[in-house]
Amino acid sequence: MKFAVISFPGSNCDNDLYYAIKDALGEQCDIVSSKTYNLDAYDGILIPGGFSFGDYLRSGAIAKLSPIMRAIKKAADDGKFIIGICNGFQILTEANLLPGSLIKNTNMQFVSSWEKVKVVNNKTMFTNNYKKDEIIKIPVAHGEGNYYCDQSTLKQLQENNQILFTYQDNPNGSVQDIAGITNKKGNVLGMMPHPERAVEDILGSKDGLKLFKSILNHKVRV
């Protein structure tokens, strides 16, 4: 498979993702500028963490206007898998590719810690390599990771099994402890924890690698 890691001005986890895919997963990967208009050459799109455009206005609010976003929306419509991590999650909600929004943590502090995360739904292209209700260890690092949605949206997320990950010890105040969700179609994932920082034992955990291996498993099955 061939992955694209989108780099916006202010992205700071693009290289982490690049090496997670290239070295830990062993697949092809390119870092692609947010000024690019075409992503047809790639099987999947990864939107990294960081502070795109300095997080001015709101996190992801300016990034959603970048040329690359039209290509990302086309890829989503084409059924390609898309993962937004941390700032990438914020960009996907700003672009209406995922419901809800990410607001400031309830304690108004930047949180950087290892968290226990529960795999709520393991029947997806992103989680099939996990066991249901498996507790995994993945780091977070954000100031605006508090996932919010109205009750109607929350009900839809629950009924459609779109909630993939929840926190065991909610670090930011997210509604229903939500750490990661997909779109209704199931091919766009947004999550605040950083799986790319948990792909080797030397990093403290390999639990994030299972997420990327799940995508390969799904590709083989279809």
Known catalytic residues?
Answer: 86, 194, 196
- What residue type is 99 in one-letter code? P
Instruction: Tell me the HSE value of 110 on the side-chain side, using a 13 A CA sphere.
Output: 6
Enumerate helices (H) and strands (E) in the chain, giving the number of each.
5, 11
